[in-house]
Structure 1
């Protein structure tokens, strides 16, 4: 591109496209990580509670518990070794640290793993894992979490249940809020209040309409267990969009700075050359870039500047040579004039004086010719001389 502005605008357009692509790719990658964390956050508390309960059971009790939990959750639950789970090293390390691992197997399906028993020191892959096949997120999963929590709470006196619930939330790592509220203090309508009083599990929308709450009564106690609000993962959080926009603007500003910096560097070269010529360094020239970069406006300006400097240097050199030549040529007629004047003073006859006067007149004519030649050269330096056309009869 020979135009500087087209080059800058083309660069900005290319950067905008690149920033848009990088922004979409970054958003996709970040959302993939956030989705994994979101799923693990929702599943952590429930699967940790089940794994901790299985740890103290024998094989028969574990089989019965898994059968009950399968009916509650509506998903198949199995116990398998880490070797048969085919997990990578990173997932195994996270399981050994007590975390829940969620491996997505489809658009709405995933496998959930939680370590029940650690592997032997020499064979870490022998650890026992609780595995759940979640085919889709449903209301039944929330009901099962309610059931597991109620099973822990009903064993304690009423006054100790809020403290126990808070201890479970912290120790099991539930990724959502849980609290016990008295029925009369609940923000629900009459129909939902009646269903809770009858022992049903109720799912209610949050005040903003962007979340849900799961409510269930705690046996014969005055408490109602509330889980939530549970928010759906926002794929476009304002903080992430602001960060991507800020980084994109920084990248655009950097590219524009690099484009303008190169142009400014070339203009500074022109300025430095002009300053050196003004100081008398007539041999100074502006370096011209290659044909691709030198064909733009600044490149053409540099070429014109070099041509001007070349012409100026040549004109001054010719002028100096002319002045030296004219000075030498003027000396001869001036010397003859001085000699003629001396001879006139010494002449004794009118004929001798006339002879010397004629010679002096010839010297003056030579001086006139030299002056005419200098004026003609000056006109030639200024441009084409003015031509006066006249008709001549050739007959």
Structure 2
């Protein structure tokens, strides 16, 4: 802080000093020179001496001026034309005194004598250019006030920067929480907010990777163990039918592993720092029915899937691949837990697109409605006979966030859960 303070302080002081010096010089050279009445006593002396000289012959003027200088102690001189460089061309006019500063910075009051080219010169001390002790004290107080103002400006800035530094150091020591306590009015509030978003993003990625590692240890090891067991059984199979049955079980486990790897890779793509969205206009009066019918072909026969699409959804702005993935994952999730019915609705509100998928299943407790969108999260207490990896809803959440929207879950009039996703009409990406 001391280095920044001194740099700012001496920079301001030097600026004020240079400006003040320049103002003093300009005022002295021009303002005072143009206003000899600023020195009334000197002007009066010149006027009295001029009147005395005009009453005697000009050949006696030098002696008279010398006698007056000796007797009064005043520095008076009678100068011939040309003795003062520039005076003969620039003044002074008769009856109009002027000031002149010589090469030694001595100040002269000059008066051109009547009916003569001679100049009466009176040298004096310019007291206006000398600072009194009080003036020097005021100058010191002035610069001290500048230092106080700078200190008051730098202190909260330094305090907030130090708090930000300590928070980042704690975060770097694997304390995955970031709370610098910076006021919104602070000059570094935007920087602290950016650090906070970065910290939350890193914390989320670390948590996601932990969940992924835990899930992989279960979702991969379990099928591998079953596959190893089926291979041993296949080796000891006595009939072709028994062998084919074991091979079918192996194929089922391989398909499960492939589905898990595909879902994991798809989620990992959405968790990247940057995702390039392919935004275009798409006709959702065709997209929603097509995706719904596609999912319907793979569910049980007694389950009814219906849809309701508004007529004004012919030109929807989105990344079609991601939104189709969102709809499929929501439908897959609903069909796992629905008893008899799943309903899809899509419409355009004032400034957003709204997609709802609801079912008549057991629903989701209010305490778990935020957690259900986490990666590799599978809620306890639901029908455990349904398979899944806990990635479908996490993919939904990230895909909608990349569209600048949000996903949430609520209760459905059908009795189960209603998943609601919406994104702005002008989808630009998160």
TM range (shorter): 0.3 to 0.5
Length-normalised TM-score, structure 2: 0.36
- Structure scoring higher RCO (CA < 8 A, sep ≥ 6) equals 1
Higher helix share: 1
Length-normalised TM-score, structure 1: 0.39
